[in-house]
Amino acid sequence: MKIACVQLDIAFGNPKENFENVERKIREAAKQEAKLIILPEMWNTGYDLTRLEEIADKEGNDTKKLLTKLAKELHIHIIGGSVSTKKDSHFYNTMYIVNDSGDIITEYDKAHLFKLMDEHMYLKAGNEKNLFEIENITMAGVICYDLRFPEWFRAHSLLGAKVIFVPAQWPAARIDHWKILLQARAIENQCYIVAVNRVGDDPNNQFNGNSMVIAPWGEIVWLGNEEETNGLVDIDLNLVEEVRGRIPVFQDRRESLYK
């Protein structure tokens, strides 16, 4: 499967500019013959949390309209990164997964809120997993800080996820953690990890990309730079079963010891 990691700069608190940029980048990736496209975290507003009442996507309507239109028109699957949404009077950090028919197949609200960027003060956490199928392959999607919770990744991989997507706004100050944790999650779950981080700055943080695609053995298949780019990668999904067969981690688990 040919995938495109759309590594973006994000205009702080400016949904109009961000929607226009995302559409351009998705169309570019489709022209490059990507079949599946993944976006970064909170790409519609950035972390302009104090203005969510004004700028968050109401019921996710604008995001859903754009992603479903592009997916259907361009015949691509879209892992929609995440956007700030307002739903039922609460704000969320929400991911939409859209298939190449233009159908929204899952919606996920970030489960673990990051206090260092004040998410807990403005956003409500989700309580559901994000497992889905694209072209008969079981996949999963989590968001940024979820990466620090290995049990959340294991919960999805135990249900069959062969690819786990991780959109993020991971600051440059902790980028080494990002790289190491992503490789660890790939190795321990024997799956592909496809992670897209933003670039650029906001008033409080610097972001330096380093988006990654990591194979089930832990090899870095692609590493992004610090600029806007569409990282194009072909992944061999047969490798997941090969690795899981060679070292049967899931069969050798002793779940009774872990409680």
- Confirm whether 2 is a catalytic residue: no
Out of 5, 64, 107, 110, the active site residue is 110
Considering just the CA atoms, what is the radius of gyration of the chain in Å? Answer: 17
Strands 137-141 and 163-168 turn out to be: parallel
CB proximity list for 195: less than 8 A, separation 6 or greater: 5, 147, 165, 166, 167, 168, 178, 182, 211, 212, 213, 214
Per-residue burial over 69-85, b if 16 or more Cβ lie within 10 Å, else e, is ebbeebebbbbbbbbbb
- Confirm whether 5 is a catalytic residue: no
Q: What is the pLDDT of residue 259?
A: 87
Identify the DSSP state of 94. Answer: E
pLDDT in tens, the chain (259 residues): 999 999 999 999 999 999 999 999 999 999 999 999 999 999 999 999 999 999 999 999 999 999 999 999 999 999 999 999 999 999 999 999 999 999 999 999 999 999 999 999 999 999 999 999 999 999 999 999 999 999 999 999 999 999 999 999 999 999 999 999 999 999 999 999 999 999 999 999 999 999 999 999 999 999 999 999 999 999 999 999 999 999 999 999 999 999 8
H-helix segments, the chain: 15-31, 52-55, 61-74, 119-122, 150-157, 175-189, 238-246
Angle in degrees, CA 166, 185, 9, rounded to 5: 25
Give yes or no for a contact between 110 and 145, defined as CB atoms under 8 angstroms apart: yes
175-189 helix and 150-157 helix, angle to the nearest 10 degrees: 30
Q: What is the pLDDT of residue 63?
A: 98
Fold of 2-257: Nitrilase/N-carbamoyl-D-aminoacid amidohydrolase (3.60.110)
- Confirm whether 191 is a catalytic residue: no
Q: Which residue has the tokens 């992004």?
A: 224
Domain ranges of the chain: 2-257
Out of 64, 107, 144, 162, the active site residue is 144
Cα separation, 119 vs 47, whole angstroms: 9
Out of 41, 64, 107, 162, the active site residue is 41
Q: Quote the tokens at residue 230.
A: 């569409």
CB proximity list for 71: less than 8 A, separation 6 or greater: 77, 78, 98, 99, 100, 101, 102
